Structure 1
Amino acid sequence: MNACAQCSVRETAICSSLSPEELGALNSLGRHQLLRRGQTMVWQGDESLLVGNVIEGVLKLSSSTVDGREQTLGIIFPSDFIGRPFGPTATHSVVALTDAQVCTFRRSAFDEFAQQHPHLEHSLLQRTLTELDRTRQWMLLLGRKSATGRVASFLLEMAKRATPYAGAGGGAETIEFDLPLGRQDIADLLGLTIETVSRQLTGLRDQGIIAIPNRRAIEVLDMERLESCAEEA
């Protein structure tokens, strides 16, 4: 129970819906797993054995095409839920982009616990629907937006997930974060070439919208203008 009470994502993970007694019962089923950068937690096509909450670090979802190429599908942040409950097979791989800590559960044990606690199932459903909405927005981004719109939208999402930024009108306050992905991974995620991603980042920098202190670090200098760029079709 102490591990759950001290968890940094206790109030935002799906287990936030549980009472102290229920949380203690779930805690007895879980364990903390440490992942090193580049380590694969789940392999696409393997039996779905583990699910869990990300506590620290950033991971990615990826899938392999028939010709062996890897496609980045999404990014997972602290408090996000990973794994495939109520399903026998993992539909994508989960790879650590940074050193990470995950609270994991055997899928079969978690499935049984969730079935006995409908409010946890409800939280899981809400999280799933949120991810579905995000995926639909991403499809719109890839299908309709310009290269500038795609890169700006990506940076906007990273800024929102990295900070407590709550929406438009954020003003001139600088928001700083490290990109969890390299340029090639960003290009794959956005359906662009690495050269295009680099040109767009340079363009946003030259306009004074962002600063790039080093290859990984991003400073958003003008959130409103970044939002405007993200709307470009």
Structure 2
Amino acid sequence: MDTHRKDIHSSDLPILCRACEARHRGVCGALSASQLISLNKQSTRKHVEAGSELIGESQESNSYANIIAGVVKLTKMMADGRQQIVGLQFAPDFLGRPFRADSSITADAATDVNVCSFPKTVIDRMIKETPELEHKLLEQTLKELDEARDWMLTLGRKTASEKVASFLYLIATHINPESDADSASFELPLTRSDIADFLGLTIETVSRQMTKLRKDGVILIRNNRHVEVPDLAKLAERASH
């Protein structure tokens, strides 16, 4: 175990890996230095503009990726062509579904996104070689399952005011993941229309509830998309009752 830890923190790590959030908090944290070096040689850093598709529903994928920066929107298509936003992903989430040939969702860049992409065959091989990597991927899957269940509660039981506050708290705590932070500042990653779709509300209701939060001093809104939360605890309280 000590040898493995020494290997992980080796100064031989690629420079990009040393500073990468996915390296420290994401799935790459389960890899040894030699595995990271091998993966780095076959990985590609990409900048994806907002609105671009990263993964298509039912599309067979030959690569995976770590989200380095930005927000990814996950949607499901209904038989009649309607779409529903079913989730959001943030850095350092893993983008893709190991053990499956294709994707059951569409992943689009909600904002400009930076990803580190690597061949599916390489990760699949490393999963077989490294139980820690498989465990890390399972942890992320379970985290997403827990968040989906929490969101079912939000959509099914919370009031419109609580839904909007819950959405803002979700963004604030995932874009600013420091657990000891008392405040947050971020750009809204979704349009008012997408927020309404995500929350099962009308655009007018979303705008009305955000205006109420602003008037109550819970949030500050600048230039229509930039949100500041002076007190995260106060926003969390509005999200729960």
Q: Same fold (TM over 0.5)?
A: yes
Three-state SS of the structure 2 residue aligned to 1:4 is helix
Instruction: Name 2:51's counterpart in structure 1.
Output: 38
Aligned pairs for 1:71-110 (under 5 A) are 71-110=84-123
Instruction: Name 1:227's counterpart in structure 2.
Output: 236
Asked whether the 8 Å contact 1:84–1:90 carries over to 2, the reply is yes
The TM-score, its normalising length taken from structure 2, stands at: 0.89
CA–CA separation in structure 2 for the residues paired with 1:222 and 1:13: 28
Q: Which amino acid aligns with 2:73?
A: K
Moved more, 24-33 or 213-222: 24-33
Selected match of 1:26 from 39, 42, 56: 39
Three-state SS of the structure 1 residue aligned to 2:141 is helix
The TM-score, its normalising length taken from structure 1, stands at: 0.92
Cα offset for 1:28? 2.9
The 3 A distance-change label for structure 1 pair 113 and 164 is closer
Q: Which amino acid aligns with 1:175?
A: A
The 3 A distance-change label for structure 1 pair 208 and 44 is same
CA–CA separation in structure 1 for the residues paired with 2:18 and 2:61: 28
Q: Which amino acid aligns with 1:83?
A: G
Moved more, 9-18 or 152-161: 9-18
> By percentage of residues, which structure has more helix?
2
Selected match of 1:9 from 15, 19, 22: 22
Matched, 1:205 2:218: no
Cα offset for 1:222? 3.1
Q: Which amino acid aligns with 2:37?
A: G
Aligned pairs for 1:145-184 (under 5 A) are 145-166=158-179, 174-184=183-193
5+ residue gaps, structure 1, are none
5+ residue gaps, structure 2, are 1-13
- Deviations along 1:145-184, one digit per CA (max 9) or x if unpaired, are 11111111111111111224427xx6xx542111110001
Cα offset for 1:109? 2.7
- Deviations along 1:115-142, one digit per CA (max 9) or x if unpaired, are 1111111111111111111111011111
- Deviations along 1:204-230, one digit per CA (max 9) or x if unpaired, are 111111111121111113322211111
Selected match of 2:80 from 58, 64, 67: 67
The 3 A distance-change label for structure 1 pair 34 and 137 is same
Identity %: 43
Q: Moved runs in structure 1, 4+ residues, more than 3 A?
A: none
Moved more, 34-43 or 133-142: 34-43
Instruction: Name 1:194's counterpart in structure 2.
Output: 203
Asked whether the 8 Å contact 1:37–1:100 carries over to 2, the reply is yes
Three-state SS of the structure 2 residue aligned to 1:10 is helix
CA–CA separation in structure 1 for the residues paired with 2:122 and 2:41: 11
Instruction: Name 2:10's counterpart in structure 1.
Output: none
